């Protein structure tokens, strides 16, 4: 069965204290390059500040087609992915998302 709106753009958001160089992000990037080379892929290095991270994401996807984009987020990236999906109406996949990062990550800040 063909998808009515195939994904043309994929945003991958890494977790807290992670990066685009993590095993998960690199594995995903390799999969996309090999199996879906026509899909625009972006896995940015997220800054520590949630406000700065959201500003970076909104700017980075400003010209992406919301109907055919998707976001994948892991851990804190899953929390952010939920926000991106709510703002854009795009599809989202969450991998072990942080559901209350202010509480759960507080001991790791500072």
pLDDT in tens, 78-106: 999 999 999 999 999 999 877 665 555 55
Which CATH code, of 3.40.190.10, 3.40.50.1820, 3.40.50.300, 1.10.10.10, is assigned to 9-16+40-108? 3.40.50.1820
Length of the chain: 110
pLDDT grade, residue 31 (50/70/90)? very high
Q: What is the largest CA-CA distance in the chain?
A: 50
What is the Cα–Cα distance from 40 to 94, expressed in whole angstroms? 19
Q: Which pair of structure tokens corresponds to residue 95?
A: 């991998």
**pLDDT tens digits along 41-61:** 999 999 988 899 999 999 999
- The full set of domain ranges for the chain reads 9-16+40-108
The answer, as to whether pTM is greater than 0.95, is: no
């Amino acid at each position: 069965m063909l998808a009515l709106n195939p994904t043309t753009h994929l945003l991958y958001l890494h977790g807290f204290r992670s990066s685009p160089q993590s095993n998960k992000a690199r594995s995903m990037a390799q999969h996309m390059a090999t199996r879906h080379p026509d899909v625009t892929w972006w896995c940015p290095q997220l800054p520590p500040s949630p406000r700065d991270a959201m500003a970076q994401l909104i700017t980075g996807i400003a010209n992406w087609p919301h109907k055919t984009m998707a976001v994948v987020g892991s851990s804190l990236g899953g929390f952010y992915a939920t926000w991106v999906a709510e703002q854009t109406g795009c599809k989202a996949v969450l991998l072990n998302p942080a559901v209350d990062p202010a509480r759960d990550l507080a001991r790791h800040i500072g």
